[in-house]
Amino acid sequence: MVTLIAMTSSAELLALYDAQQRLIVPEHPPAGLIFERIGNVLRVTGRSEGFVETTQHLDLSGDEVDALIVEHRDYFAARGEAVEWKTRAHDLPADIPRRLERAGFVAQEAEAVLVGHTRDLLTARPLPPGVEVRQARDNDDLVGMASMLTEVWGEDFGWMVDELELQLAVAPDLTVVFVAEVEGRIVSGARIEFTPGSDFAGLWGGSTAPEWNGKGIYGAIGAARAKLANDRGVPYLQVDASDESSPILKRRGFVELTTTTPYLWTPPSS
């Protein structure tokens, strides 16, 4: 790990992010997941939908980019699967989004790529009485979190239980799930993911039941994850943040490096 606490330039942070947070292939992938590095592309199969991302600069001509997009789209089409192509706003060539749309991909909601010092997220205001923030202990906690997410977002998150169980079975030290519980009910949850040798830990999946918003739970789960990262000597936290969470994190010292937009292609029969 290259510890760069003194780094303050957003441009330097973005370069470090591009070097360490793209095309990550786990040493021990969860059962059923296949990670393929194909030139400047990472392709993942075996999840609820396929996944593709690239290096920051593809160094290809327009026609070559089109061919690359079609190649991976058709790979998943042959499997009858949807696929997400993850883009960042500073990727090159700059017209990749237009070419994805021309190939039938549809832009999803953009998120801000935020990075902050781990030390800046270590504290949180006191929780209301009866709220406990802790690490998830078992399948029941994962099911409770998926139920909460289904309620919050209005779509079925049952698939997440299987995916997290696979991750936790293979590398429980690299994915750690935190939940907030009130009287036996999971009212908030999120996870932190570590990459060996990286200066970044990723904060993912933070959501809270609507009636518990604004009560400090989001901050408490963030602080719990930051403490774990700090204990492991990881200097930076990285978040793909929604419009709701971005202002909160920026107030805590996070800076926006770029934006990320997933482009989704689904088979015609889906």
**pLDDT (tens digit per residue) in 209-248:** 999 999 999 899 999 999 999 999 999 999 999 888 899 8
Confidence of residue 8 (pLDDT cuts 50, 70, 90): low
Q: pLDDT, tens digit, for every residue of 123-180? A: 999 999 999 999 999 999 999 999 999 999 999 999 889 889 988 998 999 999 999 9
Residue 119 or 270, more confident: 119
Q: CATH classification of 21-110+261-265 is 3.40.630, yes or no?
A: yes
Task: Report whether CATH 3.40.630.30 matches the domain 116-258.
Answer: yes
- In the chain, ranges of CATH 3.40.630.30 domains: 116-258
Sequence-separated contacts (24+) of 223-228 with Cβ below 8 Å: 223/121, 223/122, 223/123, 223/124, 224/133, 224/135, 224/178, 225/121, 225/176, 225/178, 225/190, 225/191, 225/192, 225/201, 226/118, 226/119, 226/120, 226/121, 226/122, 227/122, 228/176, 228/192
Instruction: Give the mean model confidence (pLDDT) for residues 68-85.
Output: 97
Q: What are 84-108's pLDDT values in tens digits?
A: 999 999 999 999 999 999 999 999 9
Mean pLDDT, the chain, whole residue set: 93
Tell whether the model's pLDDT for residue 206 goes beyond 90: no
Whole-number pLDDT of residue 48 = 84
